[in-house]
Amino acid sequence: MAVVDSGPMSPVEPQPTPVVEAAGLTKRFGPIVAVDGAELTVPAGRIVGLLGPNGSGKTTLIRLLLGLVRPDTGRVTVLGRQVPDRSLLAEVGYMPQSDGIYHELTVWENIRFFGDLYGGLGRGRAREVLELVELDDRRHSLVADLSGGMRRRLSLACALVHRPRFLVLDEPTVGVDPALRATFWHHFRELAAGGTTILVSSHVMDEADRCDELVFMRSGRIIARGSGAELRASAGTADLEAAFLHFAGLGPDGRPVGDGDATAGRHPTGPGPA
């Protein structure tokens, strides 16, 4: 067969290194498999939503990605470095599901403490994040005197104060009113536009369409991933809650359909690990 010489090929544009690459992650707690063979890649500058019911393994997966828990199998790299790696601390922000702040300190003291941990940030940045979460007028209040929603807001401010390249938010809007939730998501979008990569976990499906990409988890397994539109189209459903049930092998009543988890572990655009 003749080969036609069409001249030199155009150079292929190098693809940016993903912020997170996880392969074969498994974590057991006694007989419980909290994370079961997770494979995950998170591109730079994207908002990726990790969705699933309580107990699906989202928080354990986050802790594995951050190096806070050692996996039984598998490996993780974040920003090109294998975790755990202390050098990543200054480049990663983490808002845990339980408030990671000090109740015996004031709001301002918490912000300045976390700012000092990350290199002694100025007072201007501390004031900026307090204004974002609408706590500037409570700066001198003890955390112990704040409501649960205010503590969530302060926890977010502490995660943002050092302008991290990779921001991990575990259920960030629990206990936050709708107006402030909209403000949070507007800021998350601004951060992503500026190059920050965000992984946000939730069990609330109505926030999912705010993400660039979604990862569905159930029983420790990643069962599907893709954009909201891709997941709905692949499942043939009008909403993401119904799409989740489809990929979990469940009917509208939440009960197994046919062989139960037959669809679990399939990518919405074809078979294979998500």
Domains and CATH numbers, the chain: 40-211 (3.40.50.300)
- Give the C-alpha separation, 109 to 157, whole Å: 12
**pTM: predicted TM-score of the whole model, two decimal places:** 0.84
Render pLDDT for 157-215 as a digit per residue (tens, 0 to 9).
999 999 999 999 998 888 778 888 888 899 899 999 999 999 999 887 778 889 999 99
What pLDDT score does 272 carry?
33
Render pLDDT for 105-135 as a digit per residue (tens, 0 to 9).
999 999 999 988 887 676 788 999 999 889 9
